[in-house]
Amino acid sequence: MNELPYETSRKQIAIRFLFTILFLIVFEIVKTIIQVAVLFQYVYLFITKKHNEPVRNFSNKVTIYAYRVLRYLTLNENIKPFPFTEFPKDMDNPDSEIRYQ
């Protein structure tokens, strides 16, 4: 088992655990938002035969946020996600052309 490289207390671990519980709940909400956005995008696509760019950009940002939350939850990142810090910036822009294969 790996020891922590610095002195830590059980209180600090408990506080991190409480934030983890909070962000587990946030992650479930974010997951639901992504699912609704995906369903909406496909309904829109079937009706209009083109994607909805604002929903696409929103989904990209929410996905990046979900990634940051997961990194915090799995102890791979120490920075608390939004609302304790700024909302994450775009990591990858959406593809300019979408192919349906």
Q: 9 or 84: which carries more pLDDT confidence?
A: 9
Write out pLDDT tens, residues 41-73. Answer: 999 999 998 888 899 889 989 999 999 999 999
4 located within any domain: no
The residue segments making up the domain with residue 56 are 38-92
pLDDT at 93: 72
Structural domains counted in the chain: 1
Cα(34)–Cα(38) distance, rounded to whole angstroms?
Answer: 6
Cα–Cα distance, 63 to 42 (Å, whole number): 17
**Residue 11 and residue 8: Cα distance in Å, rounded?**
8
Confidence of residue 1 (pLDDT cuts 50, 70, 90): low
Task: Report if residue 9 sits inside a domain.
Answer: no
| pLDDT tens digits for range 3-24 | 655 677 888 889 989 999 999 9
Between 100 and 25, where is the model more confident? 25
- HSE at residue 26, side-chain half, CA atoms within 13 A, is 21
